Structure 1
């Protein structure tokens, strides 16, 4: 059987479009007493000038003002006002580079991207604000339809494309490692019992509105919790491409009242830098039906809704809405860097997955290869980079059974402030570039993958999760396949509401370690089983949440030191009437709504849970816990 799940390999862009200075830029309003300069898009979009050319002129004028201000020794606030409710059809991204105190005021405008490429890039900037703007794609970067036939191996699927949705050669040729998902048109979510996805490796047009999809493995190569595909099933087919909004090495970017209705890749991607992105009333949701369509869109983004990689400070999201992201709705993480060799006292050679996310001065956490427990914390005194072709074999061996490094001979030569007992294959991660302080409040997530936080000092509060395809809310390390750090520390999940979580079948398989609507734990290295011998998730609070109609455990916590699970209200769990193979990874036979394993210093009290065919207890404390330090009181099964 093929691997049960995997995510698109991230494309970390390191270059952006640059806009040449052009003559004839539109008129800027005189600078106010505060030094602000405002441009009106109507002055650039003159007769005979298309939107791409107009934006190029506007961005050139903005760059000149910014450069002049920098030469004068200080920043200036610059604003670009788009036409009220105006639609701009673009084929190139709006590229904002090295801007500080800049605001794009959309005034209700729409950017319609006709190229299936990025729509906006922000790089090397600070305090850039984008507000009151809608971004959509025409033609759409995905398609959907109904299964009409499939071969006996269920690897070649014929699909009648929904009216109004694309089947053009350019789109089909781009789907070489994409998502193929069976959906429920009623819930606009993954069909309950469907595989989380199957890889689409080739798509070809058979006739007008009819396509054949080649799958990477059989859709009916099933495990017990998976339902077979059938003629008449609704499916979505996505490729993996450019990200709609990409932010690189920037600080304090703000997205306010931004509506993203489609993306060829991730919706919002932030790579490196100081971070501290603010999202207020941002919507990443499927747009309206395309022209001629009779069915609603079932996809918003072709991969993650939002993704934050090795930023110093994580995002703050308030009153946001995510729906139908093909993968995670939110993912905040750093990376692990594996020890190739110790080359001297306090000195180690490391292999990175990407050339990003570690620098001199960073505080680091170490991780033992065998147990994933900490080997100590210190700081990096020096870091130099070099290529070492002679070490490629050793580097490749360290990435075996993981998503491979993109830097097969790149070495980080680091000197630590204090020596640590690190051996070959052990790892370190930066605690300075891990998205600390991520905060998500009053936001909703429908038919998405996970909200996944691997940074410290995180809060998710007063949010709503409906029909999540897998785990709804997750924290903790992925030191397994993706090498994404780190463990949860000072984490609060409070007053959130969940219903119909874990629609997909994958979480209920024997090899799955993430098996709760709320899951705190770790994704283990290949070959590992059971609770790993560490207590790396620290100071975790799960309080006042309402969890109804989950297809698996409501709350599952592992590898934690300092846990509070208090005052949660839980309705039905294991809604499909059986746990299937869930829990076998840990040697568990599920019988409760809440489970805690390999933990200590825990307080589990005043939780209520509904009984059911599987659920016969409110709480289970696994034998791997230090039971003398675990207090369980006043929990009630109803």
Structure 2
């Protein structure tokens, strides 16, 4: 993922901490009490009385509950995290509406923009809309979204912007000093609409659960976070949409979820997502991935120590026989595939582990490195410290994403690092980056891994890559449907002409998709092998006349509607391209 990601929450609290707001009829803990009592009584179904329930922290926080259907028709829950589940199983939640008050973003109208003195000095001044949080805001502001004042959609051709500092002028006005960005302020004008948001928390948080179904639920403020979970996760008829106007507001909300619509991580099985409508997320519609580790120590012949940036219990997730895949930290070409015999959490972290992990995943800002001792079946090669590793069985395999609508994302419609899945018959519209992106993002965010055996069939993508650049934060989104890999390169750290990019994504089928209006290619294949691209229709591709302007980062070949780079055994068959506007680019060597 390429911007502020979900904050992982351990959800270890046994009791529900809720505060009753004076204007609401009930507190969120009343819902939890009803569910716990129904479980204790051996019931299989409980209906929550309609009404507005409010909590300043968790709305419904449950642990170790199972075999229960919870009906929430007519229930609106205003909470930081609406529904939090830990070690729950065989449950269905339906009918709830989840929102948050106060909002964790504010919005307004740009009143001034810095003169073009370079990105280091850039700033934006704006006035807050009536009814939205005033300055100083209570949340920690991170990223900025620019919206068209007429259409209220993400403004085209505007790069990601981040607030380095917020200077309060008065309660209604602030000046945002921007973090340095190579493009500076592009296509941002006085009168544009603006959002200043926090990194976001989840409306629904799921941790170490099995066989859960969420159905007919609406989220107005945040998305869904699932981590360390097993089989049977179903999301059916879930809506993520911009919520009602706050009290005193005269303008509608510009943003729905602060970050991803669904962020699904570090799990042995992926989700089934069907019949959903996700719109106006601050990042990707769906993001599936596993953990990226670094080798921080080893003791021949069969003991290694690996570090992870997040305090997830990998020792409880990994099973004997799982693979520890060791890769070159510069290209992620596979160096060795090892079979895990045992894994255990080290009680004392290795002092040098954090420095090694920071370097391995190219993230100097990491604060933690959680270390695990791994014994393996084979003899270790003499691998250098800092080798990047992942565990494919934890990369959320076996997923289904079918018959959904994903639209108006700041990031991608679908950001998939998982294998053995189907993406079919979805509608994807107006994404700033790729509509569907397959392939790992090992550096910085540490999201694994290489993708194998995925079918992309019968999807309809419209108005894709509205940011109109091939390398957003170094991730090569060269097409509306993109297959690739993010490497540890930036605008000032380009891919060497002698570097061989591995064809690590394998067995991909892209068939029968329709792509209408893509700023860049319709389909772009990079770092892949054994790919079939068949019976796809593309109309009006590469309409952005500077398409591929960042292609030098990856030695990309962009411009023909369908292009292939750093790949082998790619079959193009019976594809139709109409009104491809850009001239084919010469391949850089």
What is the TM-score with the length of structure 2 in the denominator? 0.89
Hey, what's the Cα distance between the residues in 1 that align with 2:459 and 2:17?
49
Question: Does the CA contact (< 8 Å) of 1:549 and 1:573 recur in 2?
Answer: yes
**Which structure 2 residues correspond to residues 277-288 of structure 1 after superposition, within 5 A?**
277-288=233-244
Further displaced range: 388-397 or 495-504: 388-397
* Residue of structure 2 in register with 1:190 after alignment: 154
1:310 is the counterpart of 2:266: yes
> 1:270 Cα deviation (Å)?
0.8
User: What corresponds to 1:18 in structure 2?
Assistant: 14
Give the Cα–Cα distance (whole angstroms) in 2 for the partners of residues 50 and 99 of structure 1.
Answer: 26
1:258 paired to 2:217: yes
- What's the counterpart of residue 163 of structure 2? 200
1:87-126 equivalences in 2 (<5 Å): 87-93=52-58, 94-113=60-79, 117-126=80-89
Q: What is the aligned partner in structure 2 of residue 37 from structure 1?
A: none
Does the CA contact (< 8 Å) of 1:300 and 1:324 recur in 2? Answer: yes
CA offsets per residue over residues 145-173 of structure 1, 9 Å max, x none?
1111134456332212223322254xx14
Q: CA deviation at 1:485?
A: 0.7
Question: Which residue in the other structure is 2:508 paired with?
Answer: 540
> Which of 73, 81, 85 is 2:47 aligned to?
81
Supply the distance in 1 between the matched residues of 2:473 and 2:310 (Cα, whole angstroms). 31
The within-5 A match list for 1:492-507 is 492-507=455-470
| 1:550 aligned residue (512, 518, 524) | 518
2: distance between equivalents of 1:21 and 1:288? Answer: 26
Measured after TM superposition, the shift of residue 508 of structure 1 is 5.6
Bigger radius of gyration, 1 or 2?
1
Moved more, 180-189 or 200-209: 200-209
Q: Deviations over 1:34-73 (max 9, x none)?
A: xxxxxxxxxxx9x999512xx435534543554x57xxxx
Taking a change above 3 Å as real, the CA distance of residues 216 and 623 of structure 1, as seen in their structure-2 partners, is: closer
- Kept in 2, the 8 Å contact 1:309–1:435? The answer is yes
**1:316-331 alignment to 2 at 5 Å?**
316-331=272-287
**Which residue of the partner structure matches residue 51 of structure 1?**
26
Secondary structure of the structure 2 residue equivalent to 1:523: coil
Structure 1 position 414 matched with structure 2 position 374? yes
Equivalent-residue separation in structure 1 for 2:74 and 2:34 (angstroms): 23
Cα offset, 1:204, TM superposition: 5.1
Structure 1 residues 589 and 188 mapped into 2: Cα distance closer, same or farther (>3 Å)? same
Match of residue 453 from structure 2: 490
Conserved 8 A contact 1:105-1:130: yes
What's the counterpart of residue 398 of structure 1? Answer: 359
Q: Superposition pairs for residues 102-181 of structure 1, below 5 Å?
A: 102-113=68-79, 117-152=80-115, 155-167=122-134, 169=136, 172-176=137-141, 178-181=142-145
Whole-Å Cα distance in 1 between the matches of residues 539 and 200 of structure 2?
40
Q: Contact between 1:257 and 1:281, CA under 8 Å: does it hold in 2?
A: yes
SS at match of 1:139: coil
For structure 1, the residue ranges without an aligned partner over 5 or more in a row are 23-44, 70-75, 625-638
What does the per-residue CA deviation read over 1:79-103, in whole Å, with 9 as the maximum and x for residues that have no partner? 331224x333333421111101122
- How far, CA to CA, are the matches of 1:532 and 1:447 in structure 2? 35
In the other structure, the counterpart of 1:41 is: none
1:378 Cα deviation after fit: 4.0
Partner Cα distance (2:373, 2:34) in 1: 43
Once residues 552 and 334 of structure 1 are traced to their aligned partners in structure 2, the CA distance between those partners, rounded to angstroms, is: 28
Secondary structure at 1:584's aligned position in 2?
helix
Partners of 1:393 and 1:133 in 2: CA distance: 42
Contact conserved, 2:431 with 2:466, CA < 8 A, in 1?
A: yes
* Cα 1:420/1:427, change in 2 over 3 Å: farther
Q: Is the 8 A contact 1:180 1:238 kept in 2?
A: yes
Indicate how the Cα distance of structure 1 residues 549 and 400 shifts in structure 2: closer, same or farther if over 3 A, else same: closer
1:224-274, CA deviations, whole angstroms, 9 ceiling, x for partnerless residues?
xx73422111111101243221111111221100000113xxx11011121
1:408-450, Cα deviation, whole Å (9 max, x unpaired): 3x42111112235343222321222111112111111111121
My pick for the range that moved more, 486-495 or 585-594, is 585-594
For residue 458 of structure 1, what is the aligned residue in structure 2? 421
What whole-Å deviation, never above 9, does each CA across 1:590-610 have from its counterpart, x for those lacking one?
330011122222221100112
SS of residue paired to 2:485: strand
> Aligned equivalents of 1:254 and 1:510: distance in 2?
35
Query: Which residues of structure 2 form unaligned runs of 5+?
Result: none
Aligned-pair distance for 1:452? 0.8
Q: Secondary structure at the match of 2:389?
A: strand
Counterpart among 572, 577, 580 of residue 604 in structure 1: 572
1:332-371 correspondence to structure 2 within 5 Å: 332-356=288-312, 357=314, 359-361=318-320, 363-369=322-328, 370-371=330-331
Cα shift readout 1:119-148 (whole Å, capped 9, x = no counterpart): 221111112211011112233221111111
Pick closer, same or farther for the CA change 1:97–1:136 going to 2, 3 Å. same
* Alignment size in residue pairs: 569
1:447-480 deviations in whole A, cap 9, x for unaligned?
Answer: 1121111111111111111110111111111122
Distance 1:18 1:556, change over 3 A: same
Please give the alpha-carbon distance, in whole angstroms, between the structure 1 residues aligned to 2:47 and 2:583: 57
**In 2, Cα distance between the equivalents of 1:207 and 1:623?**
51
